[in-house]
Amino acid sequence: MNDETLPEGWRLWNEEPEGRVILAYRPDIFSGDAFDSACLPTIYVTNGSPRRRPGAGSVQTDTWRVILFTEPDIEVETEAFDSRAAAIDGARSIAERFATGAIDYRAAYQVPREAYFDRLDELTGHEET
């Protein structure tokens, strides 16, 4: 996987050989004043355990998961796959839908962050429905 195979705005942040992959959306602007760096949208491709207890993520499973986060504790979308290759394709699909405004990230929030949503809408072309 490389930046040329990703939708516009997405960058390969980290790739472990035959392991986890992390994609980041517009890291160029999520490190300045316009956006809090903690709000960097990321996509994780992992076969680590989905359990939340410490160390659980280092336990490998047979299922690969693709998880889109808009903040560290805000999971917007999760999909499961039988192989790493299928999960990478799934990550590209989620990245494309996010980049074109087709994913409703607002639904993942219990407490709306309207100013953040408005700025993210401008980047992705998302229109609130």
Angstrom distance (rounded) from CA 34 to CA 95: 21
Q: State the pLDDT at residue 58.
A: 63
Render pLDDT for 2-31 as a digit per residue (tens, 0 to 9). Answer: 878 899 999 999 999 889 999 999 988 887
Give backbone dihedrals phi and psi of 67, rounded to 5 degrees, phi first.
-125, 125
Within a domain: residue 85? yes
Does the pLDDT of residue 33 top 80, yes or no? no
Angstrom distance (rounded) from CA 77 to CA 108: 8
Within a domain: residue 99? yes
Within a domain: residue 16? yes
Render pLDDT for 66-105 as a digit per residue (tens, 0 to 9). Answer: 999 998 889 999 999 999 999 999 999 999 999 998 999 8
Within a domain: residue 56? yes
The residue ranges of DSSP E strands in the chain, in sequence order, are 10-15, 21-25, 42-48, 60-71, 74-81
Query: What's the token pair of residue 30?
Result: 């999520």
Within a domain: residue 46? yes
CB–CB of 91/66 below 8 Å? Answer: yes
pTM of the entire predicted model: 0.84
Higher pLDDT, 122 or 59: 122
Q: Over the chain, what is the mean pLDDT?
A: 86
Q: State the pLDDT at residue 35.
A: 76
89 lies in which domain range?
3-124
Within a domain: residue 129? no
**How many C-beta atoms lie closer than 10 Å to residue 104's C-beta?**
12
Within a domain: residue 45? yes
Mean per-residue pLDDT for 55-63?
A: 68
Q: State the pLDDT at residue 39.
A: 86
Task: Specify the number of domains making up the chain.
Answer: 1
Within a domain: residue 91? yes
